[in-house]
Amino acid sequence: MCGFCGYMQNDDITEKDTILAMKESIIQRGNSDNNIYINNNVALGHVRLSIIDIKNGTQPMKKTINNNSYTIVYNGELYNTNLLRNILITRGYDFTTECDTEVLLLLYVEFKEKMLRFINGIFAFAIYDENENSIFVAKDRLGIKPLFYTVSNDKFIFSSEIKGILASKFISPTMGKEELLELFSLGPAHSPGKTYFKNIFELKAGHYALYKNNTLTINKYWDLEEKKMFDDDSEIIDNVKFLVSDSTKKQLVSDVGMSSMLSGGLDSSIVTKIASDNIKELNTYSINYENNDKDFVANSYQLTKDSDFVKIMVKYLDTNHKTIIVDDNSLFNSLYESVIARDMPGMADIDSSMYVFCKEIAKNDEKVILSGECSDEIFGGYPWFYKEHLKKAKGFPWALSENLRQNLLKENLLNKDDILNYILSSKNHTLKDIRHISLDSFENEFKEINYLTIKYFMNTLIERTDRMSMRNSLEVRVPYADHRIFEYVYNVDAKLKLGLRNSNEVVEKYILKQAFKNDIPTDITNRKKSPFPKTYSKTYLLLLEEKLNNILNNPSSRLNEIINVDYVKNLIETHGNELKENLFGQLMTYPQTLAFLIQIDYWLTTYNVKIII
């Protein structure tokens, strides 16, 4: 895993300071090696975290074929590298490395944009075609790897992170009305392709683009599509087991060590079991918080503690396990570093805890770790897949907080219904991409929620994992984020996914549980879905309240330019007891709402964001 950046302009590039600054801004994405490439009107930068073919995989990588030169910068992993290499060998290509970068570059030389149909993996890359004087960029089907871009003053500028674009100085950090609506209507999520910065965009999942003759052309090459399912229930369960197992095994390829995140939940336990069967003395890691075992309070969403189930899996698999304990001060102080990692306000301490977790894992000389993320989104693990009041909600079911969001903003900054209208508009715009083939309303309703969850909620979690891990030069692999799994399971009957085929009681992720029921302990398969753990510390809450009060009492605070100060002060005075909505479901309740506002203030100040409404 790596990071890259670059730009193309009309005139020849005569200095290297700009591309050096861009590269240096993303240096923590890869601490093994870094280089730049300048040719004519194109500059490319790359930072590398060496995982495969450590000696020979240096980027930018240039190949000359039939008197034309092609240069690539790439971030990701291909999981069918050997197959693709063999295809290219049969077509007459020679290889000088064992890394997938060379495979990817030669695929483009041979197939151009059609190359994307052959690839199984997570990736973002840019290829400079010297003869055509063009830049081709692409992103994996599910959007696991990041790629941001802007077109400004006849320049095409791109980077794995927004900070790389800003470091070019070709564009200034600005927020307009639409970006403000993105932040306060959807945040910490955002619409596919959009950011909280004006004129800085993210290449959407399953899309590619070509910049040539001062024109950027963007095309979609993949999306989830409804198809008729012909397999019976037992075949579906067998196929799910094969796909998840195959995807996990494919992702165990590495020239450095491999470890696994283990929460004690179904998803990470399955991945860790498969890894443990194939790797001797597997290292596993879990996260907990200072005094959480003592302070834990069960609720309808989190009935059990992770730590109890982690112990079950560690004993079952006999892994080398370490629990990372996050203390209050580290959690609080990392709120700021996690903004830098994401380049935008994020999921508050859901982000900062992951940042600390990855930082501590990396201290153990780990470079690659497996994660159970992206399972709930496709297998039906969240409550909004089956709870009627969430399914029938007007807005996004994980963020039914339009009143809170409107109240947080300064009066008269926006019109009364702007927040709600933006939420509904974003939701409806995304749903236009769905083409139903069924007349079953239950099935169609499930498909729509499934699609929205993948495009918005999953993307928010993916960003969190990528930025927090890569900020610490740690690569996180997500076996469930295999497009084969998503294409197949997306078209499994909703009632089978929810265990409602022969029962009136919902069983979350029914087919996944059935597929692996003989491979992991019954206590794990019977455990109810539990969200990412949060701290229950009152000390942490006091730190948030004190910090936010200081911000609100500072007349020069950037937050006060947009926030309803009296409303937020009242929230703090009542310790959130009058709060009737959660900002982002159970992941972001009262403490995380305060932390989110603190992050917004820090972001506006640190990035010097100019607000133009």
Instruction: Please list, in sequence order, all residues whose beta carbon lies within 8 angstroms of the beta carbon of residue 11, skipping any fewer than 6 positions away.
Output: 41
CA angle 402, 403, 409 (to 5 degrees): 90
Q: Is 366 left (phi over 0), alpha (psi -120 to 50) or beta?
A: beta
Q: Say how far apart CA 141 and CA 123 lie, in whole Å.
A: 9
What are the angstrom distances between the C-alpha of 271 and each of 7, 261, 266? 39, 9, 9
**DSSP β-bridge partners for residue 259:** 283, 369
Helices (H), 265-348: 266-278, 292-295, 306-317, 328-342
Q: Does residue 2 have an active-site annotation? A: yes
Find the helix packing angle between 538-552 and 328-342, rounded to 10°. 50
Cis peptide before 192 (omega within 30 of 0): no
- Out of 2, 5, 358, 374, the active site residue is 2
Backbone φ and ψ of 538, nearest 5°: -75, -30
Q: Which residue has the tokens 């995982």?
A: 51
> φ and ψ at 539, to 5 degrees?
-65, -45
DSSP state of 289: E
Q: Alpha-carbon dihedral of residues 448, 450, 456, 460, nearest 10 degrees?
A: 170
Are β-strands 610-611 and 174-175 bridged in parallel, bridged antiparallel, or unpaired?
A: parallel
Which token pair is 247? 């995807």
Helix (H) or strand (E) holding 45, with range, is strand 42-48
Is-contact 398 505, C-beta < 8 A?
no
Positions of E strands within 491-593? 583-586
Catalytic center residues: 2
